[in-house]
Amino acid sequence: MARTLILGGAGFIGYHLAARLAAEGHALTLVDDFSRGRRDGEIEALCARPGVTLVQADLTREDALRDLPARWDSVYMLAAVVGVRNVETDPARVIRTNTLALMRLLDWLTPEAGMLFFASTSETYAGGVSAGTVAVPTPEDVPLSVPDVAAPRFAYAASKILGEAAVIHTARARARPSVIGRFHNVYGPRMGADHVVPELSLRALRREDPFRVYGTDQRRAFCHVSDAVEAMVRLMATPAASGRVVNIGNDTEETLIEDLAGLVLREAGFAPRLERVAAPAGSVARRCPDIGRLRELTGFVPKVSLEAGVRETFAWYRLRHEAEARSR
């Protein structure tokens, strides 16, 4: 039975990864401090399965991993403080958590621990896209940069740039297998309320009219979480991926934010007046990964269309919205 450790396992991507691996019979340990992940019915049901263990711990603490076994087949490092709201309100926490939790993990991992996956982000190179020096669709080997180290918004990107360097150099120094996945706009059920797809869905469910849409002319390539999980699992099973940075996303589903809003509103059966609002400062006009490396290494092909993924995600948020309305 494969033994898998998922740090940040109660979060959005962590939960979906865990659900998939549990269904495949992995022995799983999930670690999370529940600062963002929820101890809800879904996580309780997952953790009630045989072979699944949940540990509540703050990974920035030195002793967080002390009582866990040293031997794993795979370790996924997904724990981080994410989201524009967190970054704007408490950039110091973002830097501290995202770097310290990773450094403690790298110090703790022994030679018996298997392949490490580190979750990075397209934000690491977004500064270059805004400056016009990085092409879109973007391959992995572009310069990483933050346009203004003092701007709170870039604290997240800075923490992940450091994280990538820490994983690469530590892996080389200790001859440990590891792979860095740079996620690009992963979406799906259970992703909280801060990202664009749930945010639009929740406002559509509340019948906001006029309906605000931020950055209508921006373009994004959204990747359904089941495709992202498939890519991660494939990378971890590919020895040639070790030591590589690999984009994870869906390059076939690029869309205008205005069209995304249209899809959500169609699912909601709602036709409000659109109020077009400028995009938040510092967000790139276009984001789309070049996933050639992921394809070449793993044969990955994204399967979930934006339309099907938005339908499923909207339906999940509708159920929660209706349950909340009944309990009020």
Q: Indicate which single residue of 60, 226, 250, 298 sits in contact with ligand NAD (rule: CB under 6 A).
A: 60
Site for ligand NAD contains 13 (CB under 6 A): yes
Question: Taking the alpha carbons of 270, 275, 278, 280 in that order, is the dihedral positive or negative?
Answer: negative
Token pair in block for residue 131: 């400056």
Token pair in block for residue 62: 């030195």
Site for ligand NAD contains 12 (CB under 6 A): yes
Q: Which is nearer to ligand NAD, 35 or 242 (CB)?
A: 35
Smallest gap from residue 82 Cβ to ligand NAD (A):
4
The residue at minimum Cβ distance from ligand NAD is 11
Q: Which is nearer to ligand NAD, 187 or 211 (CB)?
A: 187
Q: Indicate which single residue of 5, 8, 247, 267 sits in contact with ligand NAD (rule: CB under 6 A).
A: 8
- Count of residues in contact with ligand NAD, rule CB under 6 A: 27
Peptide bond into 210 cis (omega under 30): yes
Rounded to an integer, what distance in angstroms lies between the CA atom of residue 155 and that of residue 174? 28
Q: Which is nearer to ligand NAD, 139 or 272 (CB)?
A: 139
Q: Which is nearer to ligand NAD, 119 or 211 (CB)?
A: 119
Helices (runs of H) and strands (runs of E) counted in the chain: 11, 14
Beta bridge partners of 179: 117
Q: 17-44: buried (b, 16+ CB within 10 Å) or exposed (e) per residue?
A: bbbbbbeeebbbbbbbbeebbeeeeebe
Which of these, 196, 204, 189, 203, lies nearest to 40 by C-alpha position?
189
Per-residue binder mask for ligand NAD (CB under 6 A), 225-264, x = binder: ----------------------------------------
Q: Which is nearer to ligand NAD, 196 or 204 (CB)?
A: 196
Beta bridge partners of 287: 220
Smallest gap from residue 264 Cβ to ligand NAD (A):
17
Please name the residue ranges forming H helices in 175-224. Answer: 196-205
Options 8-16, 40-48, 105-113, 291-299: segment touching ligand NAD (CB under 6 A): 8-16
Rounded to an integer, what distance in angstroms lies between the CA atom of residue 211 and that of residue 188? 22
Rounded to an integer, what distance in angstroms lies between the CA atom of residue 264 and that of residue 197? 8
Q: Indicate which single residue of 29, 32, 215, 263 sits in contact with ligand NAD (rule: CB under 6 A).
A: 32
Options 75-83, 105-113, 140-148, 254-262: segment touching ligand NAD (CB under 6 A): 75-83
Taking the C-alpha atoms of 23, 46, 201 and 220 in order, what is their torsion angle to the nearest 10 degrees? -50
Rounded to an integer, what distance in angstroms lies between the CA atom of residue 183 and that of residue 186? 7
Residues numbered 80-139 forming contacts with ligand NAD, rule: CB under 6 A = 80-82, 97, 101, 119, 121
Per-residue binder mask for ligand NAD (CB under 6 A), 159-198, x = binder: ------------------------x-xx------------
The owner of tokens 């309305």 is 325
Q: Indicate which single residue of 30, 59, 204, 268 sits in contact with ligand NAD (rule: CB under 6 A).
A: 59
The residues of the shown chain that bind ligand NAD, judged by CB under 6 A, are: 8, 10-14, 32-37, 58-60, 78-82, 97, 101, 119, 121, 183, 185-186
